[in-house]
């Protein structure tokens, strides 16, 4: 059984890049995934694809700057956890943990298009001297969602290859 099996997980920005990779990973690990994104066409296509593979995935058009859309997203997912310390304090008594990852740049199609010099840039970083694969970001998030992190709440875990060291 997967460490996140049966959990209801919202992936904001879930239609592309790191979010899409995370949505795929979580769905393949038997989570109930709500993909939230402003890109309706890509989000619906992803939800349809994953649902066709037997995963439990839904899509909700959501711009996180729009309170009504965020409320609709939360209602659709039947959970109420967003990332910040005050919410971790507020929801902790209900057994709801609130955490985030602080991702570094990742080798996504969008980022590579915006930064054609990506490989040179990351090779010059002082820590790991490489960029992140989107799945590395998603795996860190999956750990936070699992029981292995059952006593972790109110934190943002830097998944940056050591960039904060310098």
Q: Nearest-5° angle of CA 146, CA 150, CA 151?
A: 150
- The Cα–Cα gap between 32 and 55 comes to 8
Give kind and range of the element (H or E) at residue 100: strand 100-103
SS3 19: helix
The model carries a pTM of 0.78
pLDDT in tens, 87-141: 778 878 988 888 888 888 888 888 889 989 988 888 888 788 888 999 999 999 9
């Amino acid at each position: 059984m997967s460490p996140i099996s049966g959990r209801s997980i919202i992936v904001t920005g879930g239609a592309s890049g790191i979010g899409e990779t995370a949505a795929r990973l979580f769905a393949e690990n038997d989570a109930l995934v709500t993909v939230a994104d402003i890109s309706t066409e890509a989000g619906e296509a992803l939800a349809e694809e994953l649902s066709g593979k037997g995963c439990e995935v839904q899509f909700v058009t959501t711009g996180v700057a729009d309170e009504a859309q965020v409320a609709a997203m939360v209602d659709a997912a039947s959970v109420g956890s967003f990332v910040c310390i005050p919410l971790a304090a507020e929801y902790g008594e209900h057994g709801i943990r609130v955490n985030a990852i602080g991702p570094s740049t990742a080798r996504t199609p969008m980022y590579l298009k915006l930064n054609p010099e990506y490989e040179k840039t990351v090779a010059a970083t002082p820590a790991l001297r490489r960029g992140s694969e989107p799945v590395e970001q998603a795996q860190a998030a999956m750990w936070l969602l699992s029981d292995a992190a059952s006593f972790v709440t109110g934190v943002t875990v830097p998944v940056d290859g050591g960039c904060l060291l310098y």
